[in-house]
Chain A
Amino acid sequence: MTFFTNIANIMAKYWKVFLIQGIGYTLLLSVIAVAGGAFFGSLMALAKRSKLRILKAVVNVLVEVVRGTPVLLQLYIGVFVFPMVIPRLSSLPYIYSVSIVLIINSSAYVSEIIRSGIEAVDIGQMEAARSLGLTQRTAMLSIVLPQAVKNILPALGNEFIMVVKETSLASTFFVGELMTAYLKVKGYTYLTMECLAIVGVLYFAMTFILSKLLKGMERRMKARA
């Protein structure tokens, strides 16, 4: 029973750290990562389909490296190596470097989501459009992409949920998200399990609500199609 009284006490004293700072920064980082990821991911997906061999190779290597190494390692490199390349970063809080890393990471995954979304549209659609006299460009933009979006959006939503959980690794640099809130409070109270329980419930609440919202969106899209 002391477990629950401890939780109540912790929440009474530190609710701001968990609910406002913690959730605020977690959602902020996730939105930055996914929005940036969607933008650069689209560019990368385009690059992958381009006829320029070099561009294609560079993007492919980047995607493979990013997807093949742990996020935590990427964060270390981002925080300690990026400032050597971009001196401006060294005078800014770590959240900037962390955001950049998360955007790069997310772009790699999003580019794959977009590529597979486009490839999932039956090739016959493109062929039919082309034989009706549409240019490659118009066929892509008005026939293939609208159908691809239906495949892409749900996967993009899942990526968002993944990123919400991945931001927890940024706590290594105390950027303020939910896992940092855990570290802060645990460091002072030494009540590890209680703090973990609080953070666990909050992460679950966030991802659960997000996935319900996404389901709703998917349903509406299906109804319209």
Chain B
Amino acid sequence: MKKISKNLCMLLCVAMIFALCACGSKPEAKLSAAYDKYLAGFKAGGANGTLTVAMSPDFAPMEFYDVAKTGDAAIVGFDVLLANYLAQELDMQLVLKPMSFDACQAAVQTGNVDLAISGFSWTYDRSQNYELSDWYVAGENETQQSIICLKENEGKFTSPEDFVGYKIGYQGASLQQVLVEETFGDMDVDISLVYVDLGTAVEALKAKQVDFLAVAHGNGESIIASAGDTIAFTGFDFEVDDIYKNNVCLLQKGNTELLEKVNVALAKALENDYYSGWYDACKVYAGVSTLDELGFDDEGNKITG
């Protein structure tokens, strides 16, 4: 009898998990409409072989997973549009290789992939060890670099001096690390808290282990949208040098042939102003903004004028 009840208990546990899921998934307003439109616009299946691109899809709205889709198509976001665009311009077939942010750099360095496109910022050290493409810009995701905090501190911290005596956290090896060190390095601010990923950092913020987090503005919006009423912008924005404002693609050192082609394609995208439309579509997709707010109609067409 004892054995039966034990087994029953276990079964119940499993059943409960399934019951939780069975609560049903309701169809939602199609957030991906504008994004899908852009993606469908790219010519796929080039004749010049494959273009393998590494990215770390845990970073909405730049690159993240849409679990409703399958295979390669499940990886979505701004950098995916860019990768598709580059494949089209180079007349190559795109293969996405998802991996962690660290691994992306290792993959390029070992020649395992042709490109890493994962919201990389230009930094001096990177430029020494990789070929970096010309810049591309994902809306204000990188041009505006902010600090977020718990809701109760919203708007109270606006100048660097306000942060004296507090702890500011950031993601390791990121642009935010560079900015925090440049801005607060000489001041009496505790900048020793480095996080492997933003999600962990946000939990630390919620648990009050850290007072502030330095984030790219776009990521900050995603975080705030998910956290509901608990997190807000401090009102402080970093002064960002022009070289940091944009993202670059990473290539293996010495791969100048591909670098030139990529740069030609990037110049064309900049000239034709593709970036802002892509970024808006991805912001809608990531749930940061609505179609309406950014001037799309329900089918995902950009309303101009």
**Interface residue ranges, A against B (CB under 8 Å):** 2, 7-8, 11-17, 19, 76, 79-81, 83-84, 90, 94, 171-174, 183-193, 201-202, 205, 208-209, 212
Residues 186-236 (chain B) with a chain A CB within 8 angstroms: 198-200, 202-203, 222-223, 226-228
- Please name all residues of chain A whose beta carbon is closer than 8 Å to the beta carbon of B203 when the two chains form the complex: 192-193
CB distance from A82 to the nearest CB of B (A): 10
Q: Are B110 and A81 in contact (CB under 8 A)?
A: yes
A183 to B97, CA, bound (A): 15
A14 contact set on B, CB distance < 8 A: 67
Nearest 8 CB-CB pairings of A with B: A187-B58, A15-B21, A192-B199, A174-B98, A184-B65, A190-B226, A80-B110, A12-B23
- Which residues of the partner chain B approach A15 to less than 8 Å between Cβ atoms? 20-21
- Residue ID in chain A nearest B24 by CB atoms: A12
Task: Tell whether, in the assembled complex, residue A188 and residue B64 are in contact, meaning their CB atoms are under 8 Å apart.
Answer: yes
Question: With a CB–CB cut-off of 8 A, which chain A residues contact B102?
Answer: 172
For residue B17, give the distance in angstroms from its CB to the closest CB of chain A: 7
> Nearest-CB distance from B52 to chain A (Å)?
9
Contact yes or no, B227 A190, CB < 8 A: yes
24 CB-based A-B contacts, threshold 8 Å? A11-B20, A12-B23, A13-B67, A16-B67, A76-B103, A79-B99, A79-B103, A79-B107, A84-B110, A184-B57, A184-B65, A187-B64, A187-B65, A188-B64, A188-B66, A188-B286, A190-B198, A190-B223, A190-B226, A191-B226, A192-B200, A192-B202, A202-B17, A205-B14
Would you list which residues of chain B between 37 and 80 have a CB under 8 Å from chain A? 57-60, 64-67
Of B60, B112, B223, B286, most A-chain CB atoms within 10 Å = B112
Flag if B65 contacts A11 (CB, 8 Å): no
A56 to B107, CA, bound (A): 35
Q: In the assembled complex, which residues on chain A have CB atoms less than 8 Å from the CB atom of B97?
A: 94
Q: A174-B98, A183-B58, A184-B65 are in contact. Are A205 and B13 (CB under 8 A)?
A: yes
Q: A172 contacts B99, CB within 8 Å?
A: yes
- The winner among A16, A17, A185, A189 for most chain B CB atoms within 10 A is A189
A186 vs B197: C-alpha distance in the bound complex, in angstroms?
11
Bound-state CA distance A198–B103 (Å) is 25
B10 close to A (CB within 8 Å): yes
A66-B98 Cα distance, complex, nearest whole Å: 26
Please report the C-alpha to C-alpha distance between residue A44 and residue B51 in the assembled complex, in whole angstroms.
Answer: 40
Cα distance A11–B23 in the bound complex, in angstroms = 9
Nearest CB of B to A184, in Å: 4
Interface residues in B253-289 by Cβ distance below 8 A to A read 286
A185 touches B222 (CB 8 A): no
A172 in contact with B103 (CB, 8 Å): yes
- The distance in angstroms between the C-alpha atoms of A11 and B67, with both chains bound, is 12
- A186-B21 contact in complex given A79-B112, A192-B202, C-beta closer than 8 Å: no
Q: Is the CB of A13 within 8 A of B10?
A: no
Give the complex CA separation of A193 and B206 in angstroms: 11
Which residues from A are CB-within-8-Å of B24? Answer: 12
A13 to B, closest residue via Cβ = B25
Q: How far apart are the CA atoms of A14 and B17 in the complex, in Å?
A: 12
B31 smallest CB distance to A (angstroms): 11
> Which listed residue (A12, A94, A172, A212) contacts B21, Cβ 8 A?
A12
Contact of B222 among A172, A190, A202, A212 (CB under 8 A): A190
How far apart are B63's CB and chain A's nearest CB, in angstroms?
8
Taking CB atoms, residues of chain A closer than 8 Å to B127 are: none
Q: Give Cα A79 to B106, complex, Å.
A: 10
B17 touches A205 (CB 8 A): yes
Q: Which of A193, A201, A202 has the most C-beta atoms of chain B within 10 angstroms of its own C-beta? A: A193
Complex Cα–Cα for A189 and B227 (A)? 9
* Known pairs A8-B20, A14-B67, A186-B199; A80 contacts B100 (CB<8 A): no
A184→B17 contact, CB < 8 A: no
Chain A positions within 8 Å of B25 at CB level: 12-13
Contact of A83 among B14, B57, B112, B202 (CB under 8 A): B112
